[in-house]
Amino acid sequence: MTTAKRDTYTPETLLTVAVRIFNERGYDGTSMEHLSRAAGISKSSIYHHVAGKEELLRRAVSRALDALFAILDEPDAGRGRAVERVEYVTRRTVGVLMAELPYVTLLLRVRGNTTTERWALERRREFDQRVADLLKAAAAEGDLRADVDTRLATRLLFGMVNSLVEWYRPQPGGGYEGEQVAEAVVRMAFDGLRSGG
């Protein structure tokens, strides 16, 4: 499609292209040939930057995972009642998802066929478990309804949050603001849609 460009890529910009193609074709369906064509540089130029497509995948999902785990170290994730902490983590998770949309999208689609994919799945489960632990602590502090099964609630909460990768698209000057979506998720999950109570 394009003639080979002079290689002005850095590992970082190459990653942007790779993530887009992984999301379009699926990781399994992407060859080095596809990446080379999309980046407009030769395969050997790509190998100059990375060992192969699995390294690109590892870098991409690491970016999403690092951003997610960093949330847990923020001050507001560690102080106050557990229910406040888990609301905070939920709000920030939505924020990271929107800020790192292609990277989190890729992370959520990983299926576990390679070492890197299995590692990513494992880390994702670890993050989910940290949130489940917060919900459990909130239940123990009496701040959740008595009938809440925290394991099931964790799945439904992530179901709601992660669904954003399916429909949220940043639209400058239109669509939803990040803050608005994060607030809607937290209010729906913790206070419900019904008025009164």
Nearer to its own copies among residue 14 and residue 144 (C-beta): 144
Binding site for its own copies (CB under 8 A): 26, 29, 83, 135, 138, 142-149, 152-153, 155-164, 166-167, 176, 180-181, 184-185, 187-197
Query: What's the CA gap between 94 and 180, in Å, rounded?
Result: 10
**144-153 contacts at long range (C-beta below 8 A, 24 or more positions apart):** 144/83
Q: Nearest distance from residue 138's CB to its own copies, in Å?
A: 8
Q: Nearest distance from residue 92's CB to its own copies, in Å?
A: 17
The residues, ordered by sequence, that sit 6+ positions from 83 with a Cβ below 8 Å of its Cβ are 138, 141, 143, 144, 190
Nearer to its own copies among residue 59 and residue 136 (C-beta): 136
Residues 115, 107: contact at Cβ < 8 Å? no
Nearer to its own copies among residue 59 and residue 93 (C-beta): 93
CA 131 to chain centre: 14
Nearer to its own copies among residue 28 and residue 66 (C-beta): 28
